[in-house]
Amino acid sequence: MTDPFAIDAAHLVRQREFSTLTFGPGARVAGVLDHIRKELDEVRSEPDDMSEWADLIILAFDGALRQGADPQVILDAIEAKQTKNEGREWPDWRIQPLDKAIEHVRHEKEQAA
Which residues are CB-contacts of 58 (< 8 A; sequence separation ≥ 6)? 15
Q: For residue range 36-57, list pLDDT tens digits in order.
A: 999 999 999 999 999 999 999 9
CB 65 within 8 A of CB 16: yes
4-39 exposure pattern, b = at least 16 Cβ within 10 A, e = fewer: eeebeeeebeebbeebeeeeeeeebeebbeebeeeb
CB 34 within 8 A of CB 47: no
Q: For residue range 64-79, list pLDDT tens digits in order.
A: 999 999 999 999 999 9
Prediction pTM value: 0.87
pLDDT at position 104: 97
